[in-house]
Amino acid sequence: MGSIIVADDEEAVRQLTVRILTEEGYSVYEARDGEEAMHLAEQHAPDVALVLSDILMPRLNGVQLLEHLSRRFPSLPVLLMSGYSTLELMTRAIAVPCGYLTKPFPAETLLDEVRRCLATAA
């Protein structure tokens, strides 16, 4: 099982997400924004199995991160999360290749989406 990069500028959300994933047995790297997530993906490329990213972040947002990762690592699944609804994202023409979580989300929903994205990438 590979590692997961969790990118979110909201520290409380990031820490809760990391805790849920590590308690489930996943190895997790934390990033405060898309730039940090991109550096982690580059640094740990063979080990990263999934990127879980907030959409609205400073420096490099989740959509920009998704675009960079899809060019650099086309088979790496990216799961986006946001406080915006799916309909709002669709009206902004934001395509999601793997999945989308609306914040706040229960732990089981997070884990179900992570498992589904990892299974589709395998």
Q: How far apart are CA 9 and CA 25, in angstroms?
A: 23
Residue 89 has pLDDT above 70, yes or no: no
* Whole-number percent of the chain with pLDDT over 70: 87
pLDDT tens track for 19-29? 999 999 999 99
How far apart CA 119 and CA 113 sit, in angstroms, is 10
Q: Output the pTM of the full model.
A: 0.86
pLDDT, tens digit (0-9, with 9 covering 90-100), for 32-44: 999 999 999 999 9
